[in-house]
């Protein structure tokens, strides 16, 4: 299906540009080179984030945190992903990815998601075709419910001098909840159709057992360490306790200051905004230190894995972003908007918002630019500005996620992943419209 989507984007852009004459063709040509260069720059920027966060995840895994989390979430994950062993690296990466998305840390979620897909590929016996676990993971990832405010969108609203940048929190939460529920339901229903069933399994050793360590390998991943005496053990525990206590006191002090000046709700928002990521980093590092993990060595090993994944996704990312840029530069996107406007205006969707609705599943940076333009023209606190902000925070760059994540797994047939994700996008769009009409009139 991605083949058909890409072909429609590229050929549609060229046909519309041809009708527009030499100037339109020049715009499309320029867009090809600019977007190709931007794609590589995006990967380079992504590599640094992936190296750090996958290194951090390696610390957590080496310290045994994966097993702890897996035990907590076993009742849920076994139902959602029955073919993935609870202690497999893919399960830990998926959990970290979904937790990051729920907390609104999209940048942190991406490297975990790429790692999860590459690990799921090791369990996949269907050559080039997405497994059920991959499809469901993509559906959840592309429609992830966000419990915390979308901090990136809130920041843009604040920069645009919004009176209440946080006003979109509840509409966004409602829209993402509807989007995730719809995407998972679509995954279940579409998976029953014969057209989306797997081809016959191919022979090979990529089974759920092939990833395990050899029998002679010790189970404790903090290898090569001499037994630690009771005095050093107590000292290590004291250091961890002192740092954790200092962090908790700092969080409490931050909450108290915000509470005295802005009230309880703003105090909670302030703490979540400034402490969510630092608290996660400190917790993982302290946990690794307490389990005697060589944190630097683990970070380096995790970073090496990130480089391998980044190298694999480059062609997928370049190809999809070039097609999107061509489609927009040619004016084809404007044609689509003009066609849809008479219909969408009947359900309370202003024409000014349609560029955001159409570009958001294709390009995050393009959607950010569209949102900024709408704020400049209509203001961040107008109904158009509120709806645009909610759409930005409640939907994902579906085609980007599919192209990059499937590329990380070496998969060319995503089966019903695209349809499940698009169902989530459409549901999120209508839920955002309904929520904004309810909250903002």
Looking at residue 212, what is its pLDDT? Answer: 46
For residue 216, pLDDT beyond 60: no
Same-domain pairing of 102 and 241: no
Indicate if 259 and 334 belong to the same structural domain. no
112 lies in the same domain as 124:
yes
What is the model's pLDDT at position 135? 92
Whole-number pLDDT of residue 220: 42
In a domain, 306, yes or no: yes
> Is there a domain that residue 34 lies in?
yes
Domain boundary among 267, 290, 313: 290
**pLDDT above 90 for 406:** no
Q: Do 181 and 253 belong to one domain?
A: no
Selection from 19-23, 50-54, 131-135 with the highest mean pLDDT: 131-135
Q: Are residues 275 and 347 in the same domain?
A: no
Domain boundary among 240, 262, 290: 290
Is residue 170 pLDDT above 90, yes or no? no
Residue 437 CA: distances (Å) to CA of 9, 383, 391, 424, 428: 32, 8, 13, 20, 14
User: Is residue 427 domain-resident?
Assistant: yes
In a domain, 81, yes or no: yes
Residue 203 within a domain = no
Could you tell me the sign of the dihedral formed by the alpha carbons of 41, 43, 46, 50, in that order? negative
pLDDT digit string, tens, across residues 174-189? 999 999 999 999 999 9
- 138 pLDDT band (50/70/90 cuts)? very high
Give 367 or 223, the one with higher predicted confidence.
Answer: 367
Does 436 reside within a domain?
Answer: yes
Range of the domain at 103: 2-198+292-440
How many domains does the chain divide into? 2
Q: What is the mean pLDDT of residues 120-137?
A: 86
* Claim: this prediction has a pTM higher than 0.75: no
CB 133 within 8 A of CB 415: no
Residue 216 lies in a domain: no
Same domain, yes or no: 317 and 436:
yes
What confidence category does residue 214 fall into, taking pLDDT thresholds of 50, 70 and 90? Answer: very low
How many Å apart are CA 312 and CA 49, to the nearest integer?
16
Looking at the fold, whether 189 and 274 belong to one and the same domain comes out as no
pLDDT in tens, 353-373: 888 887 788 777 667 767 877
Residue 147 covered by a domain:
yes
**125 plus 262 within the same structural domain:** no
Contacts of 31 (CB under 8 A, 6+ apart): 322, 325, 326, 328, 329
For the stretch 228-244, what's the b/e string if a residue is b when 16 or more beta carbons lie within 10 angstroms of its beta carbon? eeeeeeeeeeeeeeeee
Nearest to 135, CA basis, from 195, 76, 80, 202: 80
Please give the mean pLDDT across all residues of the chain.
79
- The residue among 271, 290, 309 that closes a domain is 290
Q: Is the pLDDT of residue 246 over 50?
A: yes
pLDDT at 221 over 70: no
Whole-number percent of the chain with pLDDT over 90: 9
Which segment, 102-116, 135-149, 311-325, is predicted with the most confidence on average? 135-149
193, 240: one domain: no
Find all residues with CB under 8 Å of 268, minimum gap 6, and list them: 255
pLDDT (tens digit per residue) in 333-358: 788 878 877 887 787 888 888 888 87
Asked whether residue 16 falls in the same domain as residue 59, the answer is yes
89 and 67 part of one domain: yes
Q: What is the pLDDT of residue 420?
A: 92
Are 422 and 363 in the same domain?
A: yes
**Residue scoring higher pLDDT (69 or 418):** 418
pLDDT(61) > 80: no
């Amino acid at each position: 299906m991605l083949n058909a989507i890409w072909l429609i984007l590229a050929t549609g852009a060229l046909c519309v540009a041809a009708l527009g004459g030499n100037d339109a063709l020049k715009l499309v040509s320029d867009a090809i080179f600019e977007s190709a260069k931007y794609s590589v720059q995006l990967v380079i920027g992504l590599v640094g984030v992936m190296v750090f966060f996958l290194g951090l995840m390696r610390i957590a895994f080496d310290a045994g945190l994966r097993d702890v989390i897996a035990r907590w979430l076993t009742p849920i994950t076994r139902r959602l992903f029955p073919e993935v062993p609870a202690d497999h690296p893919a399960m830990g990466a998926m959990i970290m990815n979904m937790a990051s998305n729920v907390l609104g840390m999209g940048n942190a979620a991406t490297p975990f998601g790429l790692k999860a897909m590459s690990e799921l590929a090791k369990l996949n016996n269907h050559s080039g075709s997405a497994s059920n676990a991959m499809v469901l993971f993509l559906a959840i990832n592309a429609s992830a419910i966000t419990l915390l405010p979308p901090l990136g969108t809130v920041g843009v609203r604040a920069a645009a001098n919004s009176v209440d940048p946080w006003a979109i929190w509840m509409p966004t939460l409602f829209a993402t909840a509807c989007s995730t529920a719809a995407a998972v339901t679509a995954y279940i229903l579409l998976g029953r159709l014969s057209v989306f069933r797997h081809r016959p399994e191919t022979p090979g050793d990529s089974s759920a057992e092939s990833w395990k360590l050899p029998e002679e390998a010790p189970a404790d991943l903090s290898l090569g360490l001499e037994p630690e005496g009771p005095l050093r053990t107590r000292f290590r525990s004291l250091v961890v306790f002192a740092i954790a206590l200092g962090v908790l006191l700092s969080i409490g002090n931050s909450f108290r200051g915000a509470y005295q000046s802005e009230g309880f709700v703003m105090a909670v928002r302030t703490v979540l905004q400034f402490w969510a990521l630092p608290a996660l980093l400190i917790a993982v590092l302290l946990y690794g230190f307490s389990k005697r993990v060589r944190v630097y060595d683990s970070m380096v090993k995790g970073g090496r894995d990130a480089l391998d994944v980044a190298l694999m996704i480059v062609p997928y990312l370049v190809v999809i972003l070039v097609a999107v840029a061509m489609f927009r530069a040619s004016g084809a996107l404007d044609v689509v908007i003009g066609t849809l406007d008479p219909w969408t205006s009947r359900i309370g969707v202003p024409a000014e918002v349609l560029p955001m609705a159409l570009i958001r599943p294709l390009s995050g940076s393009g959607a950010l630019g569209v949102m900024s333009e709408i704020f400049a023209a209509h203001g961040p606190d107008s109904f158009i500005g509120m709806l645009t902000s909610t759409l930005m925070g409640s939907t994902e760059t579906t085609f980007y996620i599919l192209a990059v994540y499937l590329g990380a797994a070496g998969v060319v047939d995503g089966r019903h992943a695209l349809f499940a994700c698009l169902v989530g996008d459409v549901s999120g769009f209508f839920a955002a419209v309904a929520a904004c009409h309810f909250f903002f009139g």
